[in-house]
Chain A
Amino acid sequence: MAGSTLVFEAPRSARSAGRASPILRLLRTPSGAVGAALLGILLVAGFGASFATPYDPAAQDLRNTVHPPSLVPVRGSVHLLGTDQLGRDILSRLLVGLRISLLVALTVVPLSTALGLAVGMVTGYRGGWLDVALMRLVDAQLSIPTLLLAVAVVAVLGTGLPQIVAVLVIAGWPGYARVVRAEVLALREREFAAAARAVGASDIRILAQHVLPNVLPTVLVLGTLHLPVVIIFEAALSFLGLGIQPPTPSLGQMIGQAQDLVWQAWWMPTIPGVTITLVVLAFNLLGDRMRDVLDPRLRGLGPV
């Protein structure tokens, strides 16, 4: 057929002899650059602009509710992204909500990583009954579909910012633990470990000096996969009413609350939805390119 373009070349290998630092290589790709730029803007908005919002996110004006985005002042104030059902400025709430979402993600991922790393390293290195017990726990927890698990834990812990962080860490650490353990198992048998043991180095020192640095790149990759997932999970829980509670704004919560107003106020669920998509997109783009750079074997591994 004319126009058939089956390609038979070797896939582009990122194992090219790049002397340039990983970060630069990452930024040279178009998607990496876009992702970085997007993330940059979002970070500035979330951690900078959100402290200097045009209006107090909690300031109500019951005579100016559900107003569409406009450049024209109404009752003396300009609301670029409109007002919500209590007359609060949506732009201000969006910025604070963005900050909260980023905060949750940037708290949950390091905590999950730390916990998963600790458990994975100890069980992988030591083995024994602790290994068996913990790995059974990990298996069991990973058998429960994640959202279902999160929702079940919320049933117990309740809602709110600290609870949501706890829920997401609980849901997240087993993934890390399992992978770290597998890596540690392999590393344990390598020469440098045997040599270090022969010299009499303590387990902790071996773990810290030899095992940890080798495991770190994998963990970083997992982290990049985990970030966007956390953002969507927090938004999903808040959307269902099981996450961050008012008056603290959250992007998912804003969509959930605006669900009913979608008829008269299409912008109310749309704007936070676009924002979440942009955040996740930025993390996905950067994550993809980082995985290419760090370990080409993991290329194409989507968040499963």
Chain B
Amino acid sequence: MSGYLVRRLALSATAMLGVITIVFVLLHVSGDPASLLVTQDATRQDMERIRQAYGLDRPLSVQYARFIARVARGDLGYSYRQGLPVTELIADHLGATFELALASLAVAILLGVALGMAAATRRGSGVDTAAMTVALLGTSMPSFWLGLLLIIVFGVKLGWLPISGYGGWDHLVMPAFVLGGFYAAQVSRLTRTSLLEVLAQDYIRTGRAKGLRDRVVLFKHALRNAALPVLTVLGLSFGQMLGGALIVESIFAWPGMGRLAVQAVLGRDFPVVQGATIVGAAVFLAVNLTVDLVYGWVDPRLRSAAQRA
């Protein structure tokens, strides 16, 4: 087990190094990043200042080495636009993203698993078709469009929920629903399939034959075994939610990392884009690693299979 852990950690570490390199290359491929910061107020002196402050006039290899060293120390540089440390900006925004991701995960689980279970246990019926149609639509609708529709209906016309911003649970409902809904749709389909496969297994039939009640069979045996792939997907989805909720955060003005990244791109604030990408990747890797480890621990068969890969 510890060998597996060490190996996975090493893989994650090299992946992180790769991410940092990608991020560095991206920045410098564009040529002179400071030059794109021009606005009608910020002029040449500001560009020069930035260029010098960030050492952009040094040779590339020197910059790369310094960049790696800085990131290893936890220093992600300073925002071009706001002059504040990137780590601080990200720390200020990460909490909001976590909140949203957790709430969305709850939605994905509650909605997705419930829908999937309902469809699997009533396979072939109207409920099944309806549930799977809803799920299909859920994965087909662009999140920004769904978000807009919800804002119009619940925020403006009915006035039940606040349209945007950060606040209590009522501010969280719509963004969580839009972000979580997409994954809920996927989870429901997966739950259905997984549950169906398990339900067809012999030991289920044995249980039934032994006279156990349907409900016991379902919850005690079927669900637990069907849960594994679903949990994996949920874990991966959580990682995606943490790093990629850009659209939802933008529409709902949710002050998370995704919105920070989008505004940084629009404002050509490269250090922030870099920092957000690195942190997003780190979080994603951490979540994946956790999911892998939990999975490996729970199902010993996979551990050995993974070790061989």
| Interface flag for A199 (CB, 8 Å) | no
- Tally chain B residues at the interface, Cβ within 8 Å: 79
Given known pairs A7-B121, A300-B194, the reply for A148 and B246 (CB within 8 Å) is: yes
Query: What's the minimum C-beta distance from A70 to chain B, rounded to whole angstroms?
Result: 22
Q: Which of A144, A273, A299 has the most CB of B within 10 A?
A: A144
The answer to whether A300 and B273 touch across the interface, beta carbons within 8 angstroms, is: no
Residues on A with C-beta less than 8 A from B264 are 155
Contact among A1, A9, A240 for B200, CB-based, below 8 A: A9
* In the assembled complex, A102 has its CB within 8 A of some CB on chain B: no
Chain A proximity of B99: nearest CB distance (Å)? 17
Proximity string of chain B (156-174) to chain A, C-beta cutoff 8 Å, 1 when within and 0 when not: 1000000000000000000
Name the distance in Å between B271's Cβ and chain A's nearest Cβ. 11
A155 contacts B26, C-beta separation under 8 Å:
yes
Q: Beta-carbon contacts of A144-188 to B below 8 Å, as 1s and 0s?
A: 111111011111110000000000000000000000000000000
8 A Cβ contacts from A107-156 to B? 136-137, 139-141, 143-149, 151-156
Q: What is the CA–CA distance of A176 and B224 in the complex, to the nearest angstrom? A: 32
Nearest-neighbour CB distance to chain B for A3, whole angstroms, equals 9
In the complex, what distance in Å separates the CA atom of A283 from the CA atom of B261? 30
B148: interface (CB < 8 Å): yes
B130 at the interface (CB under 8 A from A): no
- Residues A300 and B142 in contact, CB atoms below 8 Å apart: no
Q: Would A148 and B277 count as touching, CB distance under 8 A?
A: yes
**A228 at interface by CB-CB < 8 Å:** yes
B52 at the interface (CB under 8 A from A): no
Contact, CB under 8 Å: B142 / A235: yes
| Chain B 288-309 near chain A by CB (<8 Å), digits 1 or 0 | 1000000000000000000000
Cβ of B53 under 8 Å from chain A: no
- Residues in A260-300 with C-beta less than 8 Å from chain B: 262-263, 266, 269-270, 273, 276-278, 280-281, 284-285, 299-300
| A148 engages B15 (CB within 8 Å) | no
Whether B11 contacts A11 by the Cβ 8 Å rule is no
B18→A146 contact, CB < 8 A: no
Query: What interface size band does chain A fall in?
Result: 35 or more
B190 contact set on A, CB distance < 8 A: 300, 302
Among candidates B11, B125, B145, B152, residue contacting A277 with C-beta atoms closer than 8 Å? B145
The answer on a CB contact under 8 Å between B140 and A277 is yes
B252 CB-CB contact with A under 8 Å: no
- Please name all residues of chain B whose beta carbon is closer than 8 Å to the beta carbon of A149 when the two chains form the complex: 277
Q: Are A145 and B265 in contact (CB under 8 A)?
A: no
* A6-B218, A156-B30 known; A240+B137 contact, CB < 8 A: no
Known: A240-B247, A252-B142. A6 touches B214 (CB 8 A): yes
Q: B14 an interface residue at 8 Å Cβ cutoff?
A: yes
Contacts of B109 in A (CB 8 A): none
In the complex, the chain A residue whose C-beta lies closest to that of B283 is A145
A242 CA to B191 CA, complexed, in Å: 35
> Which A-chain residue is minimally distant from B191 (CB atoms)?
A300
Per-residue 0/1 for B192-235: is the Cβ within 8 Å of any A Cβ (1 yes, 0 no)? Answer: 11101101100011001000001101100000000000000100
CA distance A302 to B142 in the complex (A): 16
Taken residue by residue from 128 to 161, chain B's Cβ proximity to chain A (1 for < 8 Å, 0 otherwise) reads as 0000000011011111110011001000100000
Do A273 and B261 have beta carbons less than 8 Å apart? Answer: no
Q: If A144-B22, A144-B277, A154-B265 touch, does A236 touch B247 (CB 8 Å cutoff)? A: yes
Cα distance A152–B21 in the bound complex, in angstroms? 13
Q: Is A10 an interface position by the 8 A CB rule?
A: yes
The complex places the Cα of A157 from the Cα of B26 at a distance, in Å, of 9
Contact B15–A152 (Cβ < 8 Å): no
Is A136's CB under 8 angstroms from B145's CB?
A: no
Give the chain A neighbours of B281 by CB distance below 8 A. Answer: 140, 143-145
Compute how far the CA of A140 lies from the CA of B288 in the bound complex, rounded to whole angstroms.
Answer: 13
Neighbour of B284 across the interface among A9, A144, A256, A299, CB < 8 A: A144
B240 & A11 in contact (Cβ 8 Å cutoff): no
Is A202's CB within 8 Å of the partner chain B?
Answer: no
The CA of A285 and the CA of B136, in the complex, are separated in Å by 8
Option from A4, A139, A151, A256 in Cβ contact (under 8 Å) with B15: A139
Name A300's contact: one of B189, B284, B285 (CB within 8 Å): B189
- Chain B residues with CB under 8 Å of A255's CB are 142, 144-145, 148
| Min distance, Cβ B215 to any Cβ of chain A, angstroms | 8
The reply to whether B193 and A300 form a contact with Cβ atoms under 8 Å apart is: yes
Q: Which of A154, A242, A302 contacts B186 (CB 8 A)?
A: A302
Q: Does A303 contact B (CB under 8 A)?
A: yes
Task: Report the minimum CB–CB distance from B265 to chain A (whole Å).
Answer: 4
- A284 lies within 8 A of B139 (CB): yes
Residues of A within 8 A of B89 (CB): none
Given contacts A11-B196, A281-B137, contact A143 B15 (CB under 8 A): yes
* B149 neighbours in A (Cβ, 8 Å): 270, 273
Contacts of B120 in A (CB 8 A): 7
B268 within 8 A of A: yes
Say if the beta carbon of A85 comes within 8 Å of chain B.
no
A153 to B22 CA separation, bound complex (whole angstroms)? 10
Whether a CB of chain A sits under 8 angstroms from the CB of B68 is no
Between A and B, 30 residue pairs with Cβ closer than 8 Å are A5-B125, A6-B214, A11-B197, A136-B17, A140-B22, A140-B281, A141-B19, A143-B18, A145-B281, A146-B244, A147-B244, A148-B258, A149-B277, A151-B261, A151-B273, A152-B23, A152-B261, A153-B26, A236-B143, A241-B266, A262-B152, A266-B152, A273-B142, A278-B140, A280-B139, A281-B140, A284-B139, A302-B186, A302-B189, A304-B236
What are the 8 A-B residue pairs with the smallest beta carbon separation, nearest first? A140-B18, A300-B193, A145-B243, A145-B244, A273-B145, A280-B140, A281-B140, A302-B186
